[in-house]
Chain A
Amino acid sequence: MSAAEFTTAIADPYRLGHRGPNLARGHGGGGPATKRVIVGYGFWLFLLSDIIIFACLFATYAVLADATAGGPKARDIFELDRVAWETACLLASSFLCGLATIAVAQRNQILTQAALVATGLTGLAFILLESSEFAALHAQGFGPTRSAFLTGFFTLVGCHGVHVTAGLLWLGTMMAQFYAKGFRPDIGRRFLCFSMFLHFLDVVWVAIFSLVYLVGTRL
């Protein structure tokens, strides 16, 4: 954009239908965005697509929730105490990851690693609690092959669990990168994605907790 056009564009930004081009980078006519914006934006899109996978699983679960085939119903098997502890662990994990974000912003290696270890441990506790729930159900003969309801339940909750497990693997890789490579900008961008991923898993868990467990025990 030439200087003259720039002047006209900003002279009267509220001309009807001619607010003038947005000149911020990555918006309107401002040219390519920064790498941090590009990476974060792309990862947001990935999370949205992942949310659609979960949406399918939620819908499927809703359809199959009553198809118990003579097996247990939701209220027969859900133990809200354990689920409350799972929730606490996962939310704590997300909070600790928030602390890690602050430590990364401070370029503090020790605090970063400590916060990430704590994030990982709470995440691991979540996984262990969930595994024990699954194992107990399986031991009672209420595995995913028992009925369509249990199929839907194990797939939806298990898919979230698989995501958390993948998150833990990513967490380890992230810690190793900070340790070996320091606070490089590209590693910082990856950490941005990682923290978004973890918070996103929280959001999904809130939906699972409410729609599967809380609603389930009332039905």
Chain B
Amino acid sequence: MQEERELVQIRRETWTVLCLLTLVIMALFTLLAGTYQVESGNIWSVLTGSGSALDQHIIFNQRLPRLVAAGAVGASLGLAGAIFQSVSRNPLGSPDVIGFTTGSASGALFIMLVASSMTSSDSTGLPGISIGLGAVLGGFLTAAIVLLLTSHASKNGGTSLGNQMILIGIAVGAMLGSLNDYLLTRADLDAAESAKTWLYGSLNALTWDVVAGPVLLILFFVPATLLLTRRLRILELGDDLASSLGIPPKATLNMLVGAAVLLTALAIMLGGPISFVALIAPQLATRAWKTPGIALCQSSLLGATLLEIADYIAAHALSPFQIPVGLVMGAVGGLYLLIMLIRTR
């Protein structure tokens, strides 16, 4: 018993170290590799502040923001996914289930395709941040509608809260999804293509002015959300037991879902709706670290690592073409599900 516990402990620590190591290695790869080659001998001098101005510009103003954004988006999506999977008690739970992603896509499309044509300015001139804000607004509105309907439905009694949330999320999401398709068919081809790229989720061509604000917020909110871990654990035991232990299930649920929605919103503001990070990271983390229940902190770490790897692939697989990282994650996610299916045959 004692030995087994120690073994698990060692296993967990190994995974943590492995994850951090991969994170550092991927960071170095991302900073060094690209169409413009920075010599590996020069990297240290660039990082310490000396080195040629061109090297410094490429590394600090072009590759570093993308790297930081990938890590932050991965961490917040991983954490948000873990919360949703725990709250909905469903390994397939993710921000998609309350329609957040589809709603944010609607918001962004509205800004990109409708608002830009109304103000009759060229659509490419719109700053990325206003698209992000539109997305976040759309996401929040959708999530609010879904949660409102959920609380209305739960008044009639019935099954668990999480269950109803999923069903209502599916319905609202389907409706908004077809609205998005409609908006795409009504735009001209160029606008529709750039909108579609955003919809897949891409970290390409990010600069500090866009990245800085959301990243700082993520750096604050991820640890703040991790403080809720204990409450989440107790809520996992069931609504009744949680309230008998002095934790109001409904208020805690709202707080947790609120935090997860906020993290997703920040991630979407940076990179658009990137699929499958929120789904895979918590599942893999729980298996790797062998935690009881869903691992919050570890999901966050693994999410960051996953997205850095995926972003590296997206930037270099078909270089000089840039694939949106969301497409890479979609392929990875589909393969993950297929592997699970084949393994459990």
A interacts with B:
no
- Footprint of B on A, CB under 8 Å? none
